[in-house]
A and B are shown apart, each in its own frame.
Chain A
Amino acid sequence: MTGGQIAGAATLPSAPPAMPLQDTVLLPERLGELTGLDGFGLGGELLATFLAAFIVGNLMLAMTGVAGPWAKRKITAAFTDRIAVNRLGPAGLFIILADSVRLLSKELVIPENADRPAYDLAPIVVASSALLGFAVIPMGSGIHLADPEVGLAYVFAVSGIASLGLVMAGYASSNKYSLLGGLRAVAQNIAYEIPLVITGMSIVIFAGTLQLGEIVSAQAKPLLTIAGISIPSWYALVNPFAFVLFLVANFAEVGRNPFDTPEAPTEIVAGYQTEYSSVYFVLIYLGEFLHIFLGGAIIATIFLGGPAGPGPAALGIVWFIIKIWAVFFATQWLRSAVPRVRIDQLIEIGWKGLLVLSFANLVLTAVIVGLIA
């Protein structure tokens, strides 16, 4: 087997035509090359792609696995003068193991009047829609599954599928709190998806492309050089206004404070996830964290230079993960400190505030870019 692989690798031409920018070789191709799977035609390519997706998916799931049970506790505890988990393993890290056993071994309680296929599908939709988004994110160190020309549009599209999952969960649970939560979730996602996409478009105007790989490499150019230190033209620095807008819209999109009205536990118990228990609960929970990380990944990619950072390019993934975690950290910070807005205020902020501002930003960006060009 090993011999066959090596032979296959040797006989085949090297990677497809190099694109001019970084991450020229996508992960499936590199894997195919390394393992020799690309010698097996379409089947081999599929297998290599599957392997690559498996790696990226697991990387993200591992991060949520750490973030959910452990990091979130530790971070909120630090904000609220507590210590949090510290008994199991160093800094309580083994709580991750204990938590996963606990969550998975709980009884799955399904309400009598639940609308079954929808009720069962909702958690899967919520969790998988976020995972799909990572397919086009360039994470540095060669970890990049695909780089379609409509990358940014694709990310917004798949992460928007989550709203469908939330509505399904909301109405299929046959619970009034779930229904209220589902309705709030839709209202919120519609109100904030538009500013999010519009603000994203202003970046597209800068970069001139929807392709995420190119957006990242466009940010590598130096913005200005002060005392020999070159500051890259990350779009967060080029257009901080758009960055803030996007950040706010993103918090609303992932439903975190001050925009966590859809599940507002003190008002509507847990919103759309009230009736979910055990594995389904874990899936929804995972989905939420994946969405936070996906939001972080999008922000890192289009505003913070993606995997760029000091040191060798091989460290790209490290920088990328640090940036994602910075966004995650910010969500927990807000959660500890910022009050939740009321649903009508939330909608008002979305439609009357963010939407107007994001269009202003778009027009202004277009004018400025047009003038410079």
Chain B
Amino acid sequence: MTSDSTLESPPTERADSIGAAELEALLGDAVLDRDDHENAPAIVIRPDAVQDVLATLRDEAGFDHCACVTAQEYPDRFETIYHLQSYADPTREVSVVVPTPTDEPRSESATPVFETANWHEREAYDLVGIEYEGHPDLRRILLPETWQGHPLSRDYDQEQPQVVTLSEHANPIAGDEHDTASDTMFLNIGPHHPSTHGVLHVKAVLDGETVVDVDPDIGYIHRCEEQMCQQSTYRHQIMPYPDRWDWVSSGLLNEWAYARAAEDLADIAVPDYAQVIRTMGAELSRLASHFIAVGTYALDIVGEFCAAFQYGIRDRELVLDALEELTGQRMMFNYFRLGGVAWDLPEPREEFIAGVRDILDSFPAKIDEYHDLLVTNEIFQRRCVDTGVLEPEAAKDYGCTGPVARGSGIDYDLRRDDPYGYYPHLEWDVVTEPDGDNFARLLVRLREIEESAKIVEQCLDLLAEWPEDERTLQSNVPRTLKPAADAELYRAVEGAKGELGIYIRADGTDTPARFKIRSPCFSNLSALPEIARGEYVADLIAAIGSLDCIMGEVDR
């Protein structure tokens, strides 16, 4: 609201973070300056000491999760921000700011320390134009190889036509992909392939049926979501976009990511009643998203025309009906508002609550069906157990979150570890499976369906009992929202696929100066080579399915 309030601590209570002074002592002369981000202490470091600083922070201060890498250009400098957290406690955060001069935007790459920085830095190079020294593979990631300029840099000319002739454009199937010496075969899987779940292009090198190497190629559905958000006002115009990142029914979860970030940035309180509705809606979204994840995974393993897939669609349909009742939409909900939700439960309330209860009551029998068809099926187990293994250490290195990380035994769930909404007041468990294989990731999703159903159930109880005169849907939020200039914040929620984070830098106007989306699918997908190398082609497909990537969220 007012500029003063933005500097106060955000509504949710943060754990004792490491002090900036302590950091400076730890890092010595690599530190140039201090900064203050809304979410965490920030240290400004020398661009040639990135690896040292990050390695020290990881090994000695326990910051083992490189959640996000944000790059941006100021009038006088470029800046790369590494948002570090700890898997054990995500409220322990530190932002490592690496400034570089405008005329020579070069800094040291963090990839040798955090594997997840590989893709993030490629994106930063692609969109903003910062070059990273020591990066193993610094090429464009979202835009075509032939793109001219870096669209999020200040001197980029949006009017400049990007003419890419066919002959100029690299043809992936032309050239010398025949490696006669090693007897391997290069195979393009996607971007149009039945099981890449969207326009994912996987460049695979096969030795017979065995995968020697894979390189996921993304960007086919890049829609400039970050830039669109930067051109939209905080108050109303940004909220519709999150629905379009992960469009497979995770809409409300995505909206919450933006809502949480913007509310913390502008210090907006959310009424409890709205928090309960948000929590219920978000968990319904998670249910729908997990049903489709389980269903399409069955499609990958069992084959087309399989019953489990249709069951997934069938059960998601019920959840979508409930969400439609609530929000008026089945896909692009646009239901959250800053400071609350758009409207109350549909009238008659009792009917809506009873309807959702009926849906939830039908779940145990249905989940048994999935277990019969998939989990306890011997062939299915032979296909999934011990294939596509992602070790916990590798999962952390690649910044995996959500069911993928929990399938590798990493007990990490922002709903519990960095509480928001009404989750702290509800009874539910974080599901983990230790094995890290394709099977574990499925089990996590199936069990999370049960947990989400529990949460929705409790929310319904609360909503049914809620006194009629205390049903405040939105807090009082100014018509035009202008967070203080230079307020910076990274804030994440637990999306259906993992940690969905938003970085916002305000510049005193009613639109963000930088809006960065940390997509869970993006980081999870970057671990695909680690998972699939050495497996059979069929297991590569299973691994892609078990990561449950929505390309709209990967490419943004």
Task: Name A's B-contacting residues (CB within 8 A).
Answer: 76, 79-82, 176-177, 180, 257-258, 260-261, 264-269, 332, 335-345
Q: Which residues of A contact B301 (CB under 8 A)?
A: 339-340
* B444 CB, min distance to chain A CBs, angstroms: 19
Is the Cβ of B303 less than 8 Å from the Cβ of A79?
no
* B299 CB, min distance to chain A CBs, angstroms: 6
- CB < 8 Å: which of B193, B310, B382, B383 contacts A80? B310
Is the Cβ of A344 less than 8 Å from the Cβ of B307?
no
Is the Cβ of B307 less than 8 Å from the Cβ of A80?
yes
**CB of B194 closer than 8 Å to a CB of A:** yes
- From 185 to 207 in chain B, residues with beta carbon under 8 angstroms from any chain A beta carbon are 185, 187, 193-195
* A214 CB, min distance to chain B CBs, angstroms: 38
Closest 8 CB pairs of A and B: A80-B310, A266-B195, A339-B302, A339-B380, A336-B307, A342-B538, A339-B379, A76-B305
Is the Cβ of B209 less than 8 Å from the Cβ of A82?
no
User: Which residue among A79, A264, A342 has the maximum number of chain B CB atoms within 10 Å of its CB?
Assistant: A342
**CB of B377 closer than 8 Å to a CB of A:** yes
A selection of 23 A-B contacts at a CB cut-off of 8 Å is A76-B305, A81-B314, A180-B209, A261-B538, A265-B194, A265-B195, A266-B195, A266-B299, A266-B300, A267-B537, A267-B541, A332-B305, A335-B306, A338-B377, A339-B302, A339-B377, A339-B379, A339-B380, A340-B303, A341-B379, A342-B536, A342-B539, A344-B209
* B540 CB, min distance to chain A CBs, angstroms: 8
Is the Cβ of B193 less than 8 Å from the Cβ of A264?
no
Q: How far does the alpha carbon of A34 sit from the alpha carbon of B194 in the complex, in Å?
A: 54
Minimum CB distance partner of B387 in chain A: A342
Is the Cβ of A345 less than 8 Å from the Cβ of B306?
no
Is the Cβ of B302 less than 8 Å from the Cβ of A338?
yes
Is the Cβ of A269 less than 8 Å from the Cβ of B302?
no
Q: Which residues of A contact B373 (CB under 8 A)?
A: 337
**CB of B304 closer than 8 Å to a CB of A:** yes
Is the Cβ of B314 less than 8 Å from the Cβ of A269?
no
Q: Which residues of A contact B310 (CB under 8 A)?
A: 80-82
- From 288 to 322 in chain B, residues with beta carbon under 8 angstroms from any chain A beta carbon are 299-307, 309-311, 314
Is the Cβ of A81 less than 8 Å from the Cβ of B539?
no
* A328 CB, min distance to chain B CBs, angstroms: 14
Minimum CB distance partner of B305 in chain A: A76
Task: Name B's A-contacting residues (CB within 8 A).
Answer: 185, 187, 193-195, 209, 299-307, 309-311, 314, 373-374, 377, 379-380, 382-383, 536-539, 541
Q: How far does the alpha carbon of A262 sit from the alpha carbon of B379 in the complex, in Å?
A: 17
Q: Which residues of B contact A80 (CB under 8 A)?
A: 305-307, 309-311
Can you add 4 more A-B contacts, CB < 8 Å, to A335-B303, A335-B306? A80-B306, A261-B538, A265-B195, A337-B307
Q: Which residues of B contact A343 (CB under 8 A)?
A: 209, 536-538
Q: How far does the alpha carbon of A264 sit from the alpha carbon of B311 in the complex, in Å?
A: 21
- CB < 8 Å: which of B187, B303, B307, B380 contacts A264? B303
Is the Cβ of B382 less than 8 Å from the Cβ of A345?
yes
* B198 CB, min distance to chain A CBs, angstroms: 14
Q: Which residues of A contact B537 (CB under 8 A)?
A: 180, 267-268, 343
Q: Which residues of B contact A81 (CB under 8 A)?
A: 307, 310-311, 314
Is the Cβ of A335 less than 8 Å from the Cβ of B379?
no
Determine chain B's interface SS by DSSP, over half rule. Answer: helix
Is the Cβ of B193 less than 8 Å from the Cβ of A260?
no
Q: How far does the alpha carbon of A265 sit from the alpha carbon of B196 in the complex, in Å?
A: 11
Is the Cβ of A267 less than 8 Å from the Cβ of B195?
yes
- CB < 8 Å: which of B187, B305, B383 contacts A176? B187
Q: How far does the alpha carbon of A91 sit from the alpha carbon of B383 in the complex, in Å?
A: 37
* B484 CB, min distance to chain A CBs, angstroms: 51
Q: Which residues of B contact A340 (CB under 8 A)?
A: 301-303, 379, 383, 538
Q: Which residues of B contact A338 (CB under 8 A)?
A: 302, 377, 379
* A103 CB, min distance to chain B CBs, angstroms: 18
Q: Which residues of B contact A265 (CB under 8 A)?
A: 194-195, 303-304
Is the Cβ of A336 less than 8 Å from the Cβ of B305?
yes
Q: Which residues of B contact A268 (CB under 8 A)?
A: 537
Q: Which residues of A contact B300 (CB under 8 A)?
A: 266
Q: How far does the alpha carbon of A335 sit from the alpha carbon of B314 in the complex, in Å?
A: 19
Q: Which residues of A contact B307 (CB under 8 A)?
A: 79-81, 336-337
Minimum CB distance partner of B382 in chain A: A345
Q: How far does the alpha carbon of A265 sit from the alpha carbon of B300 in the complex, in Å?
A: 9
Minimum CB distance partner of A338 in chain B: B379
Q: How far does the alpha carbon of A81 sit from the alpha carbon of B369 in the complex, in Å?
A: 13
Q: Which residues of A contact B538 (CB under 8 A)?
A: 261, 264, 267, 340, 342-343
Q: Which residues of B contact A266 (CB under 8 A)?
A: 194-195, 299-300, 303-304, 541
Q: Which residues of A contact B382 (CB under 8 A)?
A: 341-342, 345
Q: How far does the alpha carbon of A336 sit from the alpha carbon of B308 in the complex, in Å?
A: 8
Minimum CB distance partner of B379 in chain A: A339
Is the Cβ of B536 less than 8 Å from the Cβ of A339?
no
Q: How far does the alpha carbon of A343 sit from the alpha carbon of B541 in the complex, in Å?
A: 13
- CB < 8 Å: which of A177, A260, A269 contacts B303? A260
Known: A266-B194, A266-B541. A341 touches B383 (CB 8 A): yes
Known: A80-B310, A266-B300, A336-B307. A258 touches B379 (CB 8 A): yes
Q: How far does the alpha carbon of A336 sit from the alpha carbon of B306 in the complex, in Å?
A: 4
Q: Which residues of B contact A180 (CB under 8 A)?
A: 209, 537
Minimum CB distance partner of A177 in chain B: B187
Is the Cβ of A337 less than 8 Å from the Cβ of B185?
no
Q: How far does the alpha carbon of A341 sit from the alpha carbon of B209 in the complex, in Å?
A: 14
* B186 CB, min distance to chain A CBs, angstroms: 8
User: Which residue among B302, B314, B537 has the maximum number of chain A CB atoms within 10 Å of its CB?
Assistant: B302
Known: A339-B380, A343-B209. A257 touches B303 (CB 8 A): yes
Is the Cβ of A339 less than 8 Å from the Cβ of B383?
yes
Minimum CB distance partner of B193 in chain A: A269
Q: Which residues of B contact A82 (CB under 8 A)?
A: 310
